[in-house]
Amino acid sequence: MTDLRAAHAQPAYDPDDLPARVLELLAGASDRRVVVGIAGPPGSGKSTVATGLVAALRSAGTAAVCVPMDGFHLAGAELVRLGRQDRKGAPDTFDAAGYVHLLRRLTSPGTPGETVYAPTFDRDLEEAVAGAIAVEPDVEVVVTEGNYLLLDDGPWAAVRSLLTETWYLDVPDDVRVERLVTRHAGHGRTPEQARAWTLGPDQANADLVTATRARADGVVRGR
């Protein structure tokens, strides 16, 4: 199926441009909550850009919350049961259908006054934590970020249509790789193990994510 939006030139943004773009979307959203997505390969800095965007929106008086896709990581014990522990971070190591269900709750009117609770991912525990993020009824903007927001396969294919806009975060590969090596080493892997994981499972996932870039509504120049 031809992707009509991908056929047009993608606007390019710096991270500092994003608050103004979100406010533009909010101005045209009527009573609908704006939910924007930041996609990109592992180590591209998605969580940093997302949290910075939320902070800037709050400073401007807009109620905003970050809801990461990583909260839908399958538990370590379940990955072991499925034999996928050596591929943690691949598309089939997440509860993609659960993530889509949450996005539908966040974008639909729902029950008046209802608070929607979302999970987060604790990098120290290497596990998802349920009910850690409260999306209150007055939240105007939800920023979600993750690798597979633009993936056109299985349950992931529904994500893009639920988001007001989705941006692809682009950074040089050498910067991204070194960030990942440092991150993995900081969570207990030896330098050799950290680089092997970065150039193995992480790179396989990065290649998959990079192939989805053309489906984005815009590209954010990462740092």
- 2 in a domain, yes or no? no
State residue 197's pLDDT score.
Answer: 83
- 165 in a domain, yes or no? yes
pLDDT digits (tens, 9 = 90+) for 116-166: 999 999 988 889 999 999 999 999 999 999 999 999 999 999 999 999 999
Q: Which of 164, 150, 32 is nearest to 96 (CA)?
A: 150
Helix (H, G, I), strand (E, B) or coil at 171: coil
- 4 in a domain, yes or no? no
- 5 in a domain, yes or no? no
Confidence of residue 8 (pLDDT cuts 50, 70, 90): low
- 181 in a domain, yes or no? yes
Backbone angles phi, psi at 61, to 5 degrees: 90, 15
pLDDT digits (tens, 9 = 90+) for 27-86: 988 767 999 999 999 999 999 999 999 999 999 999 999 999 999 999 999 999 999 999
CATH of the domain at 158: 3.40.50.300
Q: What's the total number of domains in the chain? A: 1
Q: Which of 33, 213, 59, 49 is nearest to 139 (CA)?
A: 33
- 121 in a domain, yes or no? yes
State residue 61's pLDDT score.
Answer: 96
